[in-house]
Structure 1
Amino acid sequence: MRQVLALSAPIGLAFIPLGMALGFVVVHAGLDWWWAPTFAAVIYAGSLEFLMVGLAAAAAPVATVALTTFVVNARHVFYALSFPLQRVRGLGGKLYSTYTLSDEAYAVGVSPEARHWGSRQILFMQVCFQLLWVTGATLGGLVGEALPIERLKGLDFALTALFIVLAIDAYRQRPDPLTALSAAGCAVLAWVLVPGQLLVCAFAAFTVVLLLRKWRDA
């Protein structure tokens, strides 16, 4: 298990500050602190949890919640194609491994260092990730509850900042100006035309653009 901890720790420890940011955002949205660990444990999808805070606070329709969940988490379908789920033993283990398949768990699970891991190592890695995420969210909720609410302004930008950094890093590794401009254009267009449904419409428009590009290049 030492190898699992050594490989997972650099990524897993980042769950603490990001989970705390989720807890702060939950409290800032007017929800009770215990919603933070509830979201973290039940939903367990970082980007969706930040979005779900706003949807829950606004009492969004079930259809909007379902569509947003599908759009944000659709990538996990493709993760399952190469994640070593076949090494996980037992129905319960497979169900838990599928449920806790996150971006970070996928990155570690398919790495060369983990190619010889068995069921225990894979599940241990995923349990550690989930515990760290729930711990961070709980701490953030409790600290946010104790602090004056006016000190928590701007924390809802935490997830946006995270994705900006990830987008910049992805662009540096694989520069693609047309894709970047298409994504920005779809976001601006959705913001102008349907600001109340910006995320869903921007994702849908960008997906159509990518499919058209794929069809044109075929």
Structure 2
Amino acid sequence: MSTDLRNAFIKTIPIMCGYLFLGFAFGISLQQAGFGAGWALLISTIVYAGSLQFVLVPFLASGAPLVSVFLTSLFVNSRHIFYGLSFLERFRRMKQAYPYMVFSLTDETYSVLCAQKDVDALSDRELFFIHLLDQLYWIVGSLGGALLGSVLPFDFTGIDFAMTALFGVIFYEQMEQAANRLPAVVGIGCAIVCLLLFGTENFLLPALVSAVVGLSLLRPWLGRERT
């Protein structure tokens, strides 16, 4: 177990650096909206959905209807439906841990798994620890932000942009390492077109669907090496 935990920790060090800061940003946002550390712990434990948690802050502050929260959550996190399918069979073999593995698969954890040469070669324990450590990093950061946000003498306006910045860095690194950049071009193109057609509030789900369809049609070309 110690070997699996150590290996998982080494693999998740980049996520730790990002999640401690991003969780801190979320905790500060929550504290500034009038919610304490207990809320930060609860949300980061049972929701654990980075960008959605930032969206939830104004909803909680304004007492938004549950229907609005549900629909927003569906659209913001709908991307998990698409990329989660690629590891579904691997998680299913983990039996009792299967529900947690599905629940805790975030964008950043997914990027760690994709960076492995062979996920099937990882032990169940190491795979579980990767997910667990990532969530613990987020929880610790969230609690730190909620507890310290009110006493630190800084202006935290715009700190929630940290999540967007992290997505940008992850995308750039994945594109640099990819043998074929066509999927990135397709994804960017679908996002831009859907953004222009549907606006900022409604473009995410259509962009994901069109990207999946486009990549499925272009599948014969996706295996070609980049030149």
TM above 0.5, yes or no, is yes
Cα offset for 1:215?
11
Between the aligned partners of 2:91 and 2:215, the Cα distance in structure 1 is 30
Alignment correspondent of 2:135: 130
Q: Quickly say closer, same or farther: Cα 1:144–1:167, change in 2 above 3 A.
A: same
Tell me if 1:87 matches 2:112. Answer: no
Between the aligned partners of 1:109 and 1:161, the Cα distance in structure 2 is 20
Between the aligned partners of 2:109 and 2:217, the Cα distance in structure 1 is 35
Deviations 1:76-112 (A, max 9, x none): 223332212133133xx11111211222332333522
Aligned identity (percent) is 31
Structure 1 stretch displaced more, 133-142 or 80-89: 80-89
Tell me if 1:100 matches 2:100. Answer: no
In structure 1, the gaps of 5 or more residues are: 192-197
* Structure 1 contact 33–144 (Cα < 8 Å) conserved: no
Between the aligned partners of 1:184 and 1:75, the Cα distance in structure 2 is 16
- Residue-pair matches, total: 208
Alignment of 1:51-200 (within 5 A): 51-83=55-87, 84-90=90-96, 93-110=97-114, 111-112=116-117, 114-147=119-152, 151-165=155-169, 174=181, 180=188, 183-184=191-192, 186-187=194-195, 198-199=200-201
Alignment correspondent of 1:48: 52
TM-score (normalizing by structure 2): 0.73
In structure 2, the gaps of 5 or more residues are: 219-227
Q: Please provide the CA RMSD for this pair.
A: 3.3
Between the aligned partners of 2:186 and 2:19, the Cα distance in structure 1 is 32
Between the aligned partners of 1:216 and 1:124, the Cα distance in structure 2 is 36
* Structure 1 contact 105–126 (Cα < 8 Å) conserved: yes
Tell me if 1:32 matches 2:57. Answer: no
TM-score (normalizing by structure 1): 0.75
